[in-house]
Structures are given as C-alpha cells and as structure tokens.
Chains A and B, each alone.
Chain A
C-alpha cells in the first residue's frame, strides 16, 4: 500500500513526459522518450556497463566514508573534549566547510593528475569536515553531569568515553555523516565529470559528448536512485535507531 502511494507520482510524471514527447514536436537532442530511456537502461545493464560505472562510484564513496569516519570521529572527539582545541578549530572548520570540496578539485588535479586519487581526496575532504564538526558539537553538547556521575561511581577515563561520550555523541555523528554523504555524493559526481576516470559522473558527462541523451537520463535516474537507497536504507535507519531510542539531542 505504501510503496504504491510512492510510485503513483512517478507514474504520473512519466505519463506527462511521454505526453510531451509524443504530443509536442520535441527533437531528440533535447528530450528523449521514456521508452528510449528504458531501452538504453536495459542495454547498459545487459552489457554490464552500468554495473561497472555504478560500482566504481559506490566503491569510491564507500571508501571515502570509511576513511572519513575512521579519521574524523576520533579527531572530532579529541577536539570536542578539549575546550581550547574546540575554540581554536571551530572557526577554521566553518571556513573550510564554506569552501566546498569541489573548489579544491583543480588543485588536486595539479597534484594527482586526472586520476581516481584526485576524486577520492576531494570526496574525503568533503565528507570529513562535517563529520569532525558534528562529532565535536555532539561531544560538547553532553552535559558535564553525566561524566561526573560516572566518575563518582568509580569509572575510569576509558569507561567514561565508552559509556557516556560515544553514545551521547552518536546521534550528532550520524547526522554529520548524513550531511557529509549529501555533500560527498554531489562532489563525487562533479569530480567524476571533470576527471573522467570512471564512475557515474563520467558516464553522463561522456554521454553528453556523443549526444546520447537517453544515456544521460539513465545515468541521472540511477544516480538519484542510488543516493536515495544508500541514504534511506543504510544511513537513515541508523539515525532513527540511535536518535529515536535515545531521544534527544536534536529537534
């Protein structure tokens, strides 16, 4: 019932799309009919091309996510637990967040050339800044009382980190990850468009060179769907699980 409700608007959209193409005389180089896009999609899938490009993108964002998490969270913790470090870095982080990863792309190209390393670097940068920032604010938002209470129960430092800071900051960390993924996915596509070393950005930009509008549209739909799948099926459940069960620190 619910999936049906979600699909109806798209059905209407496709119907309108089909109507425009069939009714008005829109040339192929501007807009392609739904059926042509479908044919292109099945073609790309059966030749394994789509899988290749899509997996390249997914692999990259996955790698970047893991690296950013592994480096960013401990860094955020270190900074968050120290008032002076937080004060020192907060403004700088905000500044860096203002310079989107994409802006550094030309520099990365100069250093690493047109390679996957370039893209990876950019995406890691884009992901890591919100993660550090949100981890930091998450840790700082934890009331001092919690740690103090545990101390008067005899807990050592490591235990406090495990039982207070980690779960306490987790909702904020997850939010930071979601934010970062949003920025990161877009930076990924943009970078792939410029670097042209595989991935979905490469696919749709390359298709432009050959005027393959149908391919472009397949790429766009896949990009959107993949993002929604990753966000809704992977990240959001974690957010709901932690934030919902533990209530609080936001909204």
Chain B
C-alpha cells in the first residue's frame, strides 16, 4: 500500500527538492532579488502580473503567434509534403533544399527578416512558420512514401480511383509521421517564438522575460520560464495527446519521425 503511494508521489519529488533547496538557499544566503528571488516573491509577482497586469496580454500574444505560425506551417508543410511525397522527382529535387533550409530555420532568419517585416508579430509568425514548415514537410514526405504499397493496391482492386486512394489510404497512412512532425514542430516552434520575442517584440512571454533581465527582476524571469514550461506541457497533454489517442493510438500505429 505504501509502495503504491510512493510510486504515485515520486514524479513530484524533484520539484519538492528544488523548492526546498531554493527556500533553504534563500533563507541562508539571502541573495539580492536581482540574483535569486524567493519562491514567494516569484508567486507574488506572477499573480500580480496575472491579475490586472500585462501577463494575460502577453500569454495571448505569444499563443496567437505560436498557433498562427504553426497552423500556417502545418498546412503549407502538409500540402507541399503530399505533392512531393507522391511525386518522386519533385521529392528528389526538393530534398537538398529542404535539408539546407531546415538547418537555418527559425532564429537564423531574424537579422534578415527584421529588415523586411520590422519587429512584432509578423516577424515572430514568419520565424515560427519557417521552423514548423520544414519539419512538417519532411515528415509528411516520409509518411507518404512509407505507406505500404499493398494498401494502395488493395483499394485499387476495389475499384478506387487515384483520388480515393489518396483520401482513404495515403492521408491516414501518413498520419503517424505527420503527428510526430507536429509534435517536434511545436517544440521547435516554441523555441523560435521565445527567441524571436527576446529580440524582436514588444509583447509576449519572451519579451516579458527579457524585460525582467533589463530591470534586474529575476523573479519575473523565473516566473516567466516556469510559466512557459507549464504551457508547453499543457499543450502537449491537452492538445496533442487527445488527437493522437483518437487516431494513431487507436489504430495501433505509432511512429518516430525526422527533424528532431
């Protein structure tokens, strides 16, 4: 019985230890607020920012950019991926280009694009789209190419047209890899978002953290980081996992993809 409880509580142990250590260090060392805030200070500050402060606006701005850029990246990546996946010559032609542009995706474009789009949301959305597109594209191509040919032949022998084959075989068949790509893509997209907001934005969680650095407010920085982690986990758990459950997990197909 005790064993079961231990098992259930274990995942929280590191957080508990960290919290204890943090509190202990703070009590003993009494570092200035600019180096390390107390846990209470962080909570207080975050609550302050949340209710009546800039936090809701920042979260909204960041999420809007992330979801906007990602949605764009997913749609364009899937479309291009299907075209390339179904068409070997196109895929062979695009592959070196995609590998190269994937290597410079995201933040590397910032100095160039900031001249085209200025700072703010368009910049962030471009960088996120850029990051997500290449990952989704590669995974979609892989997924399409890996659909077992026998499944397509089966549908053709039932009289299915090319369109029917794409709709009922290729699309669901490529889904495991596409979802894996979306998962990776969102992860990289988050990073691109934060980096973009650190340098080129006036609102958003990344900018919040950066302002914390400018004003020597370590409490804002720590609080912001923890919030980012929490949102990332929430997205994975409440957004991606349900989709995976209803599709690839239910069908008994799980895959590992590229771009990670």
A: which residues have CB within 8 A of B?
5-10, 13, 29-30, 84, 87-92, 94-100, 102-107, 109-111, 178-179, 182-183, 186-187, 189-190, 193-194, 204-205, 207-208, 211, 213, 216-217, 219-221, 223-225, 227-228, 231, 250-251
Q: How far is the CA of A189 from the CA of B199 in the complex (A)?
A: 12
Do B232 and A98 have beta carbons less than 8 Å apart? yes
Can you add 12 more A-B contacts, CB < 8 Å, to A110-B34, A186-B191, A213-B115? A7-B96, A91-B12, A92-B14, A107-B222, A110-B218, A179-B260, A186-B107, A186-B192, A194-B198, A217-B112, A223-B104, A228-B99
- Type the 1/0 row for B1-14, where 1 means its CB is closer than 8 Å to any CB of A: 00000110011111
Q: Which B residues from 47 to 70 make CB contacts under 8 A with A?
A: none
B residues contacting the other copy or chain, number (CB 8 A) = 60
Which residues of the partner chain B approach A6 to less than 8 Å between Cβ atoms? 96
Interface of chain B: mostly helix, strand, loop or mixed = helix
Whole-angstrom distance between the Cβ of B6 and the nearest chain A Cβ? 8
**Contact A204 B209, beta carbon cutoff 8 Å:** no
Q: In the complex, A251→B10 CA distance in Å?
A: 31
Q: If A103-B228, A106-B213, A194-B198 touch, does A30 touch B191 (CB 8 Å cutoff)?
A: no
Interface flag for B164 (CB, 8 Å)? no
Shortest beta-carbon distance, A74 to chain B, in Å?
A: 18
Give which listed residue, B100, B191, B209, contacts A228 with CB less than 8 A.
B100
List chain B residues, Cβ under 8 A from A9.
93-97
- Name the interface residues of B86-104: CB closer than 8 Å to any CB of A: 92-97, 99-101, 103-104
Chain A interface main SS type: helix
Total contacts A-B at CB 8 Å:
152
Give CA–CA (A10, B97) in the complex, Å: 7
- Which residue of the partner chain, among B11, B92, B110, contacts A87 with CB atoms under 8 Å? B11
Given contacts A103-B228, A223-B108, contact A92 B11 (CB under 8 A): yes
Is the CB of B25 closer than 8 A to any CB of chain A? no
Contact A187 B191 (CB under 8 A): yes
Within B1-56, which residues are at the interface with A (CB < 8 Å)? 6-7, 10-15, 34-35
